[in-house]
Amino acid sequence: MLGKLAPVHTAAVLCWYGAHNYHPLPVALERGKGIYVWDVEGRQYFDFLSAYGAVSQGHCHPKIVNALKSQVDKLTLTSRAFYNNVLGEYEEYITKLFNYQKVLPLNSGVEAGETACKFACRWSYTMKGIQKYKAKIIFAAGNFWGRTLSAISSSTDPTSYDGFGPFMPGFEIIPYNDLPALERALQDPNVAAFMCENFAPGTRSCLLLMKYRWDWPELVDGWLLIMKMPDLTVLLGKALSGGLYPVSAVLCDDEIMLTIKPGEHRSTYGGNPLGCRVAITALEVLEEENLAANADKMGSILRNELMKLPSDVVTAVRGKGLLNAMVIRETKDYNAWKVCLRLQDNGLLAKPTHGDIIRLVPPLVIKEDEIWESVETITKTILSF
């Protein structure tokens, strides 16, 4: 019933019955394919949010959809009380792909982050010799890895933490991109790990275990080495399933994973055969379609063109691959929200964040002609202010 309602009625129903924890754009979507979505009135849009990056393989990728359909008629959930015939296949595939010895299958990105923090503490007590319950984890300011109590305890964003305390102890926050601050923090022998986004706040997180006390020359060299292959990495759920099913994972080697014994960490849905089948296929799509290289090429075109926009409106453009943003100067006539509304009118969906920033995150399957068409839409919109 809801999908047949006009957008204004859809919004009214959601507002009446649902929690008010999101502020959506005024559009109600009912269908998606590749880089496009369609609203309940049949209008087509470029999707430049991709469900916050979860739909990297494009909406309803046929190979992933077929894998889901095939598995859903066979077996969907057993819990981990029993083996299932897909879990082992998934574990072998993903550990070999990322070159780790072990994986723990989970369901959401923040669950993976929480688990990584638990594992870091357990490892620090059993392997590093930190006094029990004295471990510390370092985070960089501006981080974002979810909305659970642990995640907001490491946050510097008042909209995440204000009014939700008391907070988790043992977390220390240092300035982002400040290696001297990290050097000072690592002098504390109780530091178990440093958790950070891999290139910008709010992107995929990794967690580095502090195996010994660093001095500064070692820190620089070790940083460059470890960032290529952290001791323990968190793969946020999002693109791990192509947007079709909630799947996440924690990957690490035996030294860390085997500190956890049977019964000490569980997830009813983690490792279910449906999620495992979807995740295998979603990762295959990323590999087979060479989407990392495509993201690099298309992202370069996008940023190069966005940098040509008038600097009195777009004050900065930044990003990597197809995870990009432009900063909008706020005036009495326009701001990032109003720019997004006009982008919507012109057939492109994007979402503002932190007031003046507009995320531009299309699916990685976007083609060059589609990038150029979307650039025309963005340019037309910006020049209208």
pLDDT digits (tens, 9 = 90+) for 81-118: 999 999 999 999 999 998 899 999 999 999 999 999 99
CA distance 341 to 328: 13
DSSP state of 130: P
Take residue 101 and report the two structure tokens written for it: 């010895």
CA dihedral over 331, 332, 335, 339, signed as positive or negative: negative
Take residue 203 and report the two structure tokens written for it: 């992107």
Task: Give the pLDDT mean for 334-349.
Answer: 98
pLDDT at 217: 34
pLDDT at 287: 95
Task: Give the pLDDT mean for 308-314.
Answer: 97
pLDDT at 283: 96
Are residues 197 and 230 in contact, defined by beta-carbon separation less than 8 angstroms?
A: no
CA distance 56 to 49: 10
Say if residue 352's pLDDT is above 90.
Answer: yes
CA distance 171 to 156: 12
SS3 per-residue string spanning 286-299: HHHCCHHHHHHHHH
pLDDT at 231: 63
Task: Give the pLDDT mean for 356-381.
Answer: 98
Instruction: Assign 10 a pLDDT band (cuts: 50, 70, 90).
Output: confident
**Number of H-type helices and E-type strands within the chain:** 14, 15
Task: Give the pLDDT mean for 302-329.
Answer: 96
Say if residue 256's pLDDT is above 60.
Answer: yes
CA distance 245 to 223: 34
In a 3-state reduction of DSSP, which class is residue 29? strand
pLDDT at 209: 66
Task: Give the pLDDT mean for 320-335.
Answer: 95
Task: Give the pLDDT mean for 133-138.
Answer: 96
Instruction: Assign 242 a pLDDT band (cuts: 50, 70, 90).
Output: very high
pLDDT at 188: 95
CA distance 24 to 65: 26
* Cross-strand partners of 39: 29
**What percent of the chain is modeled with pLDDT above 70?**
88
Task: Give the pLDDT mean for 122-132.
Answer: 95
Say if residue 25's pLDDT is above 90.
Answer: yes
Cis peptide before 166 (omega within 30 of 0): yes
Taking only the tens place, the pLDDT of each residue in 197-225 is: 766 555 455 666 665 433 333 333 333 33
Which of 28-32, 62-66, 107-111, 377-381 is the least confident region?
107-111
pLDDT at 218: 37
Instruction: Assign 7 a pLDDT band (cuts: 50, 70, 90).
Output: low
pLDDT at 225: 33
CA distance 103 to 221: 27
Say if residue 226's pLDDT is above 80.
Answer: no
∠ CA 262-268-274, rounded to 5°: 120
CA distance 219 to 11: 51
Task: Give the pLDDT mean for 338-364.
Answer: 97
Task: Give the pLDDT mean for 52-66.
Answer: 97
Say if residue 9's pLDDT is above 90.
Answer: no
Spell out a b/e string for 123-158, using b for 16 or more CB atoms within 10 Å of the CB, else e.
Answer: bbbeebebeeeebbbbbbbbbbbbeeebbbbbbbee
pLDDT at 104: 96
Task: Give the pLDDT mean for 133-144.
Answer: 94
What pTM was estimated for this model as a whole? 0.90
Taking only the tens place, the pLDDT of each residue in 34-51 is: 999 999 999 999 999 999
